Amino acid sequence: MNALAVPEHLAGLRVIFSAFHHFPPAAAVALLRDAVRAGTGIGVFEGAGKHWGELALAGTALPVAQLLLTPFFRPFRLSRLAFTYLVPIIPLCTIWDGAVSLLRMYSPGELLTLANLADPAGCYHWQAGKKSHWWGPQVTYLVGWPAAAR
């Protein structure tokens, strides 16, 4: 299925968790425009707030956790141990992926700009922002729903 053109028989709220940063701006606008065309609500949630503290966390805490937990991952594979401890390709890829994902995330302002490009007629109510977890990290979000649904 193509997220940029969801089949009409799949009605209902569209939700994207921790993946919107994979869409370049033109594709992100097309994804939002398709929800507007279908007249369905959409929620985009990224599990980070795009700030340097989270980047530092992705570069330190995640690899340390990976080093501690790798022997317990199932199914057990010697190759996983080798590429974690002897030649640390897996932790380096984890650091790279986390850093690049954080840097590619859209800010709330950028999300609203994309939403306005997808909905130039203003048929939707759009809201974007950040909410903090009780323990600190943030979730960046964009939600949109048809104005007539109010």
127 found inside a domain:
yes
pTM: 0.84
* 57 lies in some domain: yes
**Is residue 119 located within the same domain as residue 145?**
yes
CB-neighbour burial class of residue 57 (10 A; exposed 0-12, middle 13-18, buried 19+): middle
Which carries the bigger pLDDT value, residue 133 or residue 64? 64
The enclosing domain of 112 has a CATH number of 3.30.110
Q: In the structure encoding, which two tokens stand for residue 26, read together?
A: 């033109």
Model confidence over 89-98: pLDDT tens digits? Answer: 999 998 898 8
Is 92 domain-assigned?
A: yes
Is 11 within the bounds of a domain?
A: no
54 with 25: CB under 8 angstroms? no
98-149 residue pLDDT tens:
888 888 999 999 999 999 999 999 999 999 999 987 777 789 999 999 997 5
By residue range, what is the domain housing residue 67? 52-102
Domain total of the chain: 2
Asked if residue 138 belongs to a domain, the reply is yes
- Examine residue 74 and state whether it is found in any structural domain, yes or no: yes
Q: Do both 65 and 132 map to the same domain?
A: no
